[in-house]
């Protein structure tokens, strides 16, 4: 179904989580905001929330709208017996940070909070800056690169691997495991693709279970050691499945969302040379540009909640036990909050009010780190490179459909080296 068809037919002709909408959601989201900012889909029974005010209010109401949605995801439909067999080789899933409610949510999050404080993140800036320049050194003379693979993926993956305390020589493994988790979240995978993702996730579990055991007897200054030896409010230590759940979330959250935002930032430079020129003339605007890119990219495009009781959002009734989807990417382009919402504006005075990191108690624990990685990376790119252009046809740019995450799969670019 083309975008024109999506916009000309009745809302009931498709669902907000159809592959066509997920791949290119912005025009459809704008229609939802106009016609049904709170929309209970007749095909799925899911309530989709698209406007800024309602998304923000639901996100902070953790009592009525629970984050314990993982069981609902796992229980849908029959499970391929091959997948069940593969899962027996690993550890059972556990609800920890993202998919947990208070009071347990506070306990799990407390185990890793210290690793992501503003003060701790500030100490990482020299390391991130050195890394960015080393990566640019690797392709600057060529005058072209595949930006996602050569830069956008490597910055956050290298940083989170270092913080976890695992060797960068296993980079390719981390990338495959992160991709497997994303494939699971996509809800677009074929049975064979889902089986392969489960096998890779079991590999991840076995690898990190061994690292956790190593740190019991040989603690170091890293997140794995922090988790193994943490005793939040003098409670019992975490068991292996709980620790693996936390590490899984840190690996994906510390990688995919920043990767997608970095790629979107460079694409926006290409599409908005006037805004790129403003940044070159005044690099002090980079932090605000970072917020504007987070708003426009919204790499966590959507997130689930489960209604704990019969309630309503606006004038729409929401039954207890039903699924609710918060459409962050739509809220971040709400015309009522952001004038000309689809336009990049590096001077936008309320850019930081975006919901790209969520809102309320589940606001992304790595928000400070992501902001630091992005601002340092954009500064390095501005210093070293200029005259960015696509090295492919615009029609070749592809956003893989995913129910929760959204980002460019590849971004081939050309550029000119800036004079020192």
What is the per-residue pLDDT across 48-89, written as a single tens digit (0 to 9) for each? Answer: 999 999 999 999 999 999 999 987 665 455 678 898 898 999
Would you state the pLDDT for residue 73? 64
Would you state the pLDDT for residue 67? 95
ω into 103 cis (within 30 of 0):
yes
Would you state the pLDDT for residue 34? 96
Would you state the pLDDT for residue 419? 82
Nearest-angstrom CA–CA distance, 216 and 213: 5
Would you state the pLDDT for residue 1? 56
Q: Write out pLDDT tens, residues 125-158.
A: 999 999 999 999 999 999 999 999 999 999 999 9
pLDDT of residue 122 exceeding 70: yes
- Top-level CATH class of 3-417? mainly alpha
Percent of the chain predicted with pLDDT > 70: 96
What are the boundaries of each domain within the chain?
3-417
pLDDT of residue 3 exceeding 80: no
Nearest-angstrom CA–CA distance, 166 and 171: 9
Would you state the pLDDT for residue 77? 56
Q: Write out pLDDT tens, residues 250-290.
A: 988 778 999 999 999 999 999 999 999 999 999 999 999 99
Q: What is the pTM of this model?
A: 0.94
Q: Residues of 201-240 as b/e, b for ≥16 C-beta within 10 angstroms? A: bbbbbebbbebbeebeeeeeebbbbbbbebebeeeeebee
112 and 365 in contact (C-beta within 8 Å)?
A: yes
The residue that leads in pLDDT, 171 or 338, is: 338
Structure tokens of 99?
């998919």
384 and 135 in contact (C-beta within 8 Å)?
A: no
Structure tokens of 399?
């956003």
Average pLDDT over residues 168-192: 87
Nearest-angstrom CA–CA distance, 357 and 295: 9
Out of 199-203, 240-244, 252-256, 305-309, pick the least confident.
252-256
Q: Write out pLDDT tens, residues 233-260.
A: 777 889 999 999 999 999 887 789 999 9
pLDDT of residue 186 exceeding 80: no
* pLDDT band at residue 214 under the 50/70/90 scheme: very high
Beta strand spans in 88-134 (E): none
Would you state the pLDDT for residue 53? 98
The residue that leads in pLDDT, 84 or 322, is: 322
Q: Write out pLDDT tens, residues 14-42.
A: 899 999 899 889 999 999 999 999 999 99
* pLDDT band at residue 5 under the 50/70/90 scheme: low
Sheet holding 65-66, edge to edge: 38-40, 47-49, 323-326, 303-307, 65-66
Q: Using the structure block, give the residue that is written with the tokens 């279970």.
A: 209
Percent of the chain predicted with pLDDT > 90: 79
Would you state the pLDDT for residue 111? 85
Would you state the pLDDT for residue 338? 98
Rg of the Cα trace of the chain?
21
Q: What are the phi and psi torsion angles at 209 (to 5°)? A: -60, -40
Half-sphere exposure of 218 (CA within 13 A, CB side): 5
pLDDT of residue 225 exceeding 70: yes
Please report, for the chain, how many H helices and E strands are present, in that order.
20, 10
* pLDDT band at residue 320 under the 50/70/90 scheme: very high
Would you state the pLDDT for residue 48? 98
Q: Using the structure block, give the residue that is written with the tokens 């039903």.
A: 322
């Amino acid at each position: 179904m083309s975008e024109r068809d999506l916009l000309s037919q009745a809302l009931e002709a498709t669902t907000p989580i159809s592959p066509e909408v997920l791949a290119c959601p912005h025009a459809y989201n704008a229609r939802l905001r106009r016609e049904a900012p709170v929309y209970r889909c007749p095909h799925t029974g899911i309530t989709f929330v698209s406007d800024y005010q309602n998304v923000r209010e639901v996100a902070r109401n953790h009592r009525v709208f629970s984050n314990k949605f993982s069981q609902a995801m796992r229980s849908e439909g029959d499970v391929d017996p091959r997948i069940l067999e593969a899962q027996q080789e690993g550890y059972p899933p556990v609800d920890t940070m993202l998919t947990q409610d208070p009071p347990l949510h506070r306990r799990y999050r407390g185990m890793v909070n210290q690793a992501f404080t503003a003060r701790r993140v500030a100490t990482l800036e020299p390391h991130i800056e050195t890394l960015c320049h080393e990566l640019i050194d690797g392709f600057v003379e060529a005058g072209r690169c595949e930006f996602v693979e050569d830069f956008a993926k490597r910055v956050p993956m290298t940083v989170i691997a270092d913080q976890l305390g695992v060797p960068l020589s296993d980079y390719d493994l981390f990338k495959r495991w992160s991709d497997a988790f994303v494939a699971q979240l996509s809800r677009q995978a074929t049975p064979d693709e889902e089986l392969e993702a489960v096998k890779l996730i079991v590999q991840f579990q076995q690898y990190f279970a061994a690292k956790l055991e190593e740190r019991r007897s040989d603690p170091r200054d890293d997140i794995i050691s922090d988790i193994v030896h943490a005793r939040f409010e003098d409670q019992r230590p975490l068991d292996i499945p709980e620790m693996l759940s936390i590490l899984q979330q840190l690996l994906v959250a510390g990688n995919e969302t920043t990767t997608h935002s970095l790629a979107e930032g460079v694409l926006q430079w290409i599409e908005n040379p006037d805004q790129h020129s403003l940044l070159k003339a005044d690099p002090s605007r980079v932090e605000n540009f970072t917020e504007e890119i987070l708003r426009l990219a919204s790499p966590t495009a959507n997130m689930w909640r489960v209604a704990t009781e019969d309630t309503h959002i606006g004038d729409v009734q929401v039954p207890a036990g039903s699924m609710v989807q918060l459409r962050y990417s739509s809220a971040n382009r709400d015309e009522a909050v952001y004038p000309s919402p689809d336009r990049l504006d590096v001077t936008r005075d309320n850019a930081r009010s975006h919901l790209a990191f969520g809102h309320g108690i589940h606001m992304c624990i790595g928000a400070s780190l992501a902001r630091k990685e992005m601002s340092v990376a954009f500064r390095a790119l501005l210093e070293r490179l200029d005259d960015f252009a696509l090295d492919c046809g615009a029609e070749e740019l592809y956003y893989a459909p995913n129910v929760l995450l959204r980002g460019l799969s590849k971004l081939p670019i050309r550029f000119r080296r800036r004079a020192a």
